[in-house]
Structure 1
Amino acid sequence: MNASATASARGGGPATLTSAGFVLPDYDRTIGLILPAVADAIGAHDVPGGPAARAALGLPTSQRACVVLVDGLGLLNLTERASQAPFLRSLLAAGTDLCSGYPSTTAASMGTFGTGMSPGRTGMVGYTARNPVTGGLANLVSWDGASSPREWQREPTVFEQVEAGGISVTSVGPRKFAGSGLTEAALRGGSYRAAESLPDRVDVALFELMGPALVYLYWGEVDKTGHHHGWGSRQWGNELATLDRELARLARSLPRGTTLVVTADHGMVDVDRSQRWDVAQTPALKEGVELVAGEPRALHLHVPAGPDAGERSHAVARRWAATLGSAAVVALGDDAVADGWFGPVAEHVRPMIGDVVVAMTGRATVVDSRTQSRMSLELVGVHGSLTPHELTVPLLTVQA
């Protein structure tokens, strides 16, 4: 963020992304490289950016590949709890790190993972986002309030391109995600095999890998457990250990000529309840804001449209910066776009990004009890912001 934008948004405060403990996503080295690289490695050479991505990640050629995405398994989270994951720990030394985009949340990351494009291109700019057509909130996980997936997310997916090249593509995940809005937006293409337990998903993946193929396996329980108990909890460690055992079995059972890739969509921090604000109960945060979108660690604030919208945005930014102090970096949306928070931004996506955007520091959060469920207000583990714990994810590989 440039100094003038920071100063104007934070009432003259000197904070920058670096001094706030933040890192800006490197959009040349995000999880968007993984599927193009894997596609090129297994012979789907028409995927744009595939050869360069494969060179960047150092993937060898192979007959088939299995890509496992573990929701919420940030690299720093894994490293700090690695004693409970001996198999994954054994891969860390030879592995590398990538980053999610901003915000560091599932919807945005899955858009980048599935297309290779930034959130500013996919329109997957948060857990919730303003729907430019209706003006209301669209939930980009449940897809409530959003337009059709292909209208919202217009970029071609890697799965579509690999399938068009004649290579089998199979996604393995829970039945409820088959044909869902998020799946159609970010991961459309190929076939979908429903399996609920992790052992069943591993078994399905191994069956689908009998021929030349790209198999994608999703596991969400690490993220779910972190949300409810925190990533520092005993329950999170137990879930990590269960994951580790099944991934070790998957690796042992791979047919020869298979590349296994394990990665994640984002990491996680545990909340500090003393650093939580509720927009509904805080007049200075509520004033002048027509719609609060995003999530508790990464907020989009929309002001009423009109000739004075720019002035309103500046006023909202000043009030939020004064209220939150060092718990947040507050920026005008145009400044955040110009400074690359969302990567390249398409014209139709810009209205989905807030007039003001807010990234929370440390373990702080801002909630809005007017629109969030009671359960979501009580989450322990959260993500979305620009800290290394949230942004940095592992890239671990096994060659059979």
Structure 2
Amino acid sequence: MKITLPNYQESILNVTNSFLRHYKAKHDYPSLPELDQVLDNHSFNHIIYVLLDGLGMNVIEEHLQPNDAIRQYLQRPITSVFPPTTVAATDAVLSGDPPIVNGHIGWVQYYQEEDVHAVVFQNKDFYTGDVFSEDLRHKYFSFETMYDKINKANPTIQTNEFFPSFREGGSETFAQQIERVLLTTHNTDQSFNYVYWIEPDLTQHVHGTSSKETKAVVQGLNQDFTSLINNVDDDTLVVLIADHGLVDVDIIPLFEYHDVTTHFIRKPAIEPRVTTFYIKEGHESAFEESFTTHFGSYFDLYKTSDFLEKQWFGEGEIHPNLMQCFGNYISVATSLSMFGLHEGKGYKAHHAGLSAEEMMVPLIIYYNQKKVK
């Protein structure tokens, strides 16, 4: 497995900062020169910012032809953030800040003050399924969104977001999202629009990256994207990225290794390919020995303090509530393996590790170059 680190000069985080720069809004991180050049040299009344969950460079290159629109307008690959997973990556995009600053690092975050393993986007406990009465994500890790920042600098810009049907009023299909965003741009003077769709992530989790099912979904997304760019007005810029890619994995049933789990003070958190462990006082050496014996060929294990010094979560002041989410140790996959953290959760492919397949995502830029000045 080729190790690929996040590049916070050339990442999805920097795409958002280019848009914030364009609107003269507050931004604390570098913008992306290729996108800056387009924004500086042309006049757009509308921007459509599309994020397709799990559309890594690997599935683009495997399932699409060079003349397909997604590949045709590919500017170049860029990196995700760390970990390359939906919670960390999409909230880096929505905030313009890296995970270390906005506090969103993974699917499951342990809140010590509540003593719960929160599924961040679902507001329930990962291990028990209990739904929380209070929105813990908002309580501990609310942030100023890119819409907030744009509206502060440019109150006349209409900002919109288009989500799937897991949100009230959301779309059932990517094609429906496209219809809605086109209707908006055709009927407003100036707008900034964020479109998030859940595929091809869901299909890859179930069927793998190279499956016929994934191929069909990726080709369908390309058809919908083609429809989008064929129907935008000449004053519209379309930028498409992904939050992460996926890689086919083997599952290691962590809780069957009792000489490892006996050292746990509580169950692990974050992600199956980047995991934080909470170890009983005085058991650290025994845990390290057992972990290395069983998993040393598949994962690197770090003391949390040493891991944070690497700044893989990004640079900046750590969110004041984030340290409560970390245990004594953090492991990172250096192979095509993941920990099985939940019974009944089988996956053909996953993400959040450091492979190129997980880390490298597209920067796709489209506008009518013949007519836009």
Which TM-score band (shorter chain)?
0.7 to 0.9
Question: What residue identity is the alignment partner of 1:299?
Answer: T
Cα distance in structure 2, aligned partners of 1:379 and 1:154: 30
What is the aligned counterpart of 1:150 among 109, 113, 138?
Answer: 138
Q: Are residues 1:254 and 2:201 paired?
A: no
What is the aligned counterpart of 2:255 among 262, 272, 280?
Answer: 280
8 Å Cα contact 1:84/1:237 also seen in 2 = no
Cα distance in structure 2, aligned partners of 1:296 and 1:209: 40
8 Å Cα contact 2:21/2:27 also seen in 1 = no
Map residues 110-149 of structure 1 onto 2, 5 A cutoff: 110-145=90-125, 147-149=135-137
Cα gap change, 1:219 to 1:154, in 2 (>3 Å): closer
Cα distance in structure 2, aligned partners of 1:175 and 1:85: 31
1:294 Cα offset (Å): 1.9
8 Å Cα contact 2:205/2:349 also seen in 1 = yes
1:267 Cα offset (Å): 0.3
1:98 Cα offset (Å): 2.0
1:96 Cα offset (Å): 1.8
1:399 Cα offset (Å): 1.3
8 Å Cα contact 1:301/1:356 also seen in 2 = yes
Per the alignment, residue 129 of structure 2 pairs with none
Overall identity of the aligned pairs, in %: 20
Q: Are residues 1:234 and 2:216 paired?
A: no
Per the alignment, residue 338 of structure 1 pairs with 309
What is the aligned counterpart of 2:291 among 312, 315, 320?
Answer: 320
- Which stretches of structure 1, 4 residues or longer, exceed 6 Å deviation after superposition? none
Per the alignment, residue 106 of structure 1 pairs with 86
Deviates more, 1:151-160 or 1:321-330: 151-160
Output the TM-score relative to the length of structure 2: 0.87
Per the alignment, residue 24 of structure 1 pairs with 5
CA distances 1:351-388 after superposition (whole Å, capped 9, x unpaired): 212321111123111113xxx241x2x11111111111
8 Å Cα contact 1:123/1:352 also seen in 2 = no
1:129 Cα offset (Å): 1.2
8 Å Cα contact 1:101/1:109 also seen in 2 = yes
Cα distance in structure 2, aligned partners of 1:257 and 1:195: 25
- What number of residue pairs does the alignment pair up? 349
Question: What residue identity is the alignment partner of 2:158?
Answer: S
1:151 Cα offset (Å): 2.7
3-state secondary structure, aligned to 1:53? coil
More helix per residue? 1
Per the alignment, residue 46 of structure 1 pairs with 25
1:56 Cα offset (Å): 5.7
Per the alignment, residue 361 of structure 1 pairs with 334
3-state secondary structure, aligned to 1:256? coil
What is the aligned counterpart of 2:62 among 49, 67, 80?
Answer: 80
8 Å Cα contact 1:22/1:388 also seen in 2 = yes
What is the aligned counterpart of 1:329 among 279, 293, 300?
Answer: 300
Per the alignment, residue 277 of structure 2 pairs with 301
Per the alignment, residue 159 of structure 1 pairs with 147
Output the TM-score relative to the length of structure 1: 0.82
Per the alignment, residue 199 of structure 1 pairs with 175
3-state secondary structure, aligned to 2:297? helix
1:58 Cα offset (Å): 3.4
8 Å Cα contact 1:38/1:54 also seen in 2 = no
1:97 Cα offset (Å): 2.1
Alpha-carbon RMSD across the aligned residues, in angstroms, is 2.1
Map residues 90-101 of structure 1 onto 2, 5 A cutoff: 90-92=72-74, 95-101=75-81
Q: Are residues 1:64 and 2:46 paired?
A: yes
Per the alignment, residue 177 of structure 1 pairs with 167
Deviates more, 1:200-209 or 1:134-143: 134-143
Cα gap change, 1:260 to 1:154, in 2 (>3 Å): same
1:85 Cα offset (Å): 7.7
8 Å Cα contact 2:120/2:137 also seen in 1 = no
Cα distance in structure 2, aligned partners of 1:85 and 1:200: 24
Q: Are residues 1:244 and 2:236 paired?
A: no
3-state secondary structure, aligned to 2:305? helix
8 Å Cα contact 1:85/1:240 also seen in 2 = no
1:313 Cα offset (Å): 3.8
